[in-house]
Amino acid sequence: MKLENEHWPNDQRVQENEIQAEILEEKSVTAALSAVAPNKLFGWKSSLMELVRATVYVDRFRSNARPENRNKRRVGAVTSAEIDDALKNLVRISQKESFPQEIADLTRKREVRESSKITRLYPELLDCIMCVGGRLRHAEISSSCKHPYIIDHRHPLAKLIVVYYHQKHLHAGQQLVISAMRERFWITSVRNLVRSVLHECVPCFRVRPQVQQQLMADLPPERVTPCLPFQRVGVDYCGPFMIRYPQRRAQPIKCFVAIYICLVTKAVHLELAADLSTQGFLTTFKRFVARRGKPQIVMCDNAKNFVGARREIAELHNLVRSKDFQTSVVRSSAEERIEFKFIPARSPNFGGLWESAVKFFKTLLKRSVGVRMLLYDEMRTMIVQIEAVLNSRPLTPLSNDPDDFEALTPRHFLIQRPLTALPEPDLDGVPENRLSTWQRIEQLMQRIWQKWSTQYLSDLHNRTKWTKRKDNIAVGTMVVLKQDNLPPLKWPLARVTEIHPGADGNIRVVTVRTKDGSYRRAISKICILPIRENLSPATPASAEED
């Protein structure tokens, strides 16, 4: 390890150096490490260099304090020889703390015991430092490569050496760091140690941050409670798509597609939207209600057009209630409010049902149309056809008969039913010859719902991902906030200020504060920084030798 000459700074803190002198007089590197800038371990400047320079200062302090050296006091720039001597002193102290028995055996000209974990290295003492004996004595390489210093991976000095080489080689990976270190140091169980250092390196983490995960939550009541189709819906937009009107020389215009999906039956309703404005969404919503009936619950993300729609619907509701309407029908309809539920912003995994529908729609449209630009009427026709395909997707087989190829699909729930169906008695088990025509239809619908309850619903038990429970994030944790439109190095830093546990106690949503304000985000959009205040105490590395 070549350490560059540096001029000793003029503003050295005398008190800190005196503390270092006392510590090193006690021959305790472990205590010295706790006094040398412990908070800078993973900064741009390695704490190994601070410890080495402090050791050089202590060596000078000792030398200058001797009576025979008072007339030749050492001052000025730190030399390479001084740095090399200081590093050797640190290695000697660390070996005395980690391998006292091995050093005692070698000092008595004995071989180390078979029970020693470094016996396979065939260690030997060179300049009072325990080095690797090995089998490269006759190789044409430098002496430090033939006989690297042995360092215990559990000693604090080992971690400082790894951090130094990792930073010196521009945050290199595991194999390069190990190869560079072994030109002078042989650290036991080095792979585990290097892996932990790389895991805790903030600059490396900022390049490839890892988002948080938690056990997949239970399905909400809106997904597993039977209801009429489109009584509970999720809605999302996809696009933009370019279309044009049939007029001569008409310019292409943008359009969007609003996708409404029933949370219970997965039935899909598609509407063409002119833009992403609140008025544009309300227009599609009115057409949806006219054709499918008024929903009770609408779930969507926090897009501004949806938030505005909720506000305008509430204002319309208050306006209607304030008038003295004469008919009970109008009054009762005004009483029926539509509840909007919003998932956390920029958290598509909370709306996986409609995100999946968006993906299927884009796939079918791309394969059918390609790059061709459609006319307005052609686009409307294509949307209706894709809607029919999506509503024909199988949910579960209707029977266990291998010759029966019919499957339960969303279309089974959309036909033979008026928009406001009346409750009917249970007709299951009643002989068919005793049923009227309408009752036969109703019996068929009841069997379809029974299939939904006994087969399709049971298929939702499985968690397709996020199958393990993880430790919950805590208030005060420093994180990186993932931004989809920015590279990782530009993702802002944030601190968790509030947690929002789910019904099972697991935390999947938190409130974070950045320099621009506070936001509610899913944990899939945050990355916990590997800094000391965030990390739990590390478990000791394996004692296996490399």
Lowest mean pLDDT among 94-98, 100-104, 316-320: 316-320
Chain length of the chain: 546
Contact 500, 510 (CB under 8 A): yes
> Per-residue pLDDT averaged across 192-196, rounded?
93
Higher pLDDT, 440 or 300: 300
Sequence-distant (≥ 6) Cβ neighbours of residue 51 within 8 angstroms: 29, 32, 33, 36, 90, 160
Span 451-465, pLDDT tens digits: 655 655 556 556 666
pLDDT classification of 532: cutoffs 50, 70, 90: confident
Span 403-437, pLDDT tens digits: 544 677 788 778 654 333 444 556 666 666 666 65
Q: What is the pLDDT of residue 378?
A: 84
Span 344-388, pLDDT tens digits: 776 666 667 778 888 888 888 887 777 778 888 888 888 888 888
* Element at 92 (helix H, strand E): helix 80-98
Structure tokens belonging to residue 14 = 């005398």
Mean pLDDT of the chain: 76
Q: What is the pLDDT of residue 436?
A: 64
* Element at 493 (helix H, strand E): strand 493-501
Q: Which one of 113-117, 245-249, 337-341 scores highest in mean pLDDT? A: 113-117
Res 166 pLDDT > 80: yes
Lowest mean pLDDT among 199-213, 218-232, 427-441: 427-441
The CA-to-CA distance between both ends of the chain, in Å, stands at 21
Q: How many other β-carbons are positioned within 10 Å of the β-carbon of residue 216?
A: 17
Q: Report the amino acid identity of residue 504.
A: D
Q: Report the amino acid identity of residue 302.
A: N
SS (H, E, C) 56-84: HHHHHHHHHHCHHHCCCCCCCCECHHHHH
pLDDT classification of 497: cutoffs 50, 70, 90: very high
Q: Using DSSP, state whether 34 is helix, strand or coil.
A: helix
Q: Report the amino acid identity of residue 75.
A: V
Percent of the chain with pLDDT over 70: 71
Could you tell me what percentage of the chain is helix, strand and coil, using 3-state DSSP and rounding each to the nearest 5? 45, 15, 40
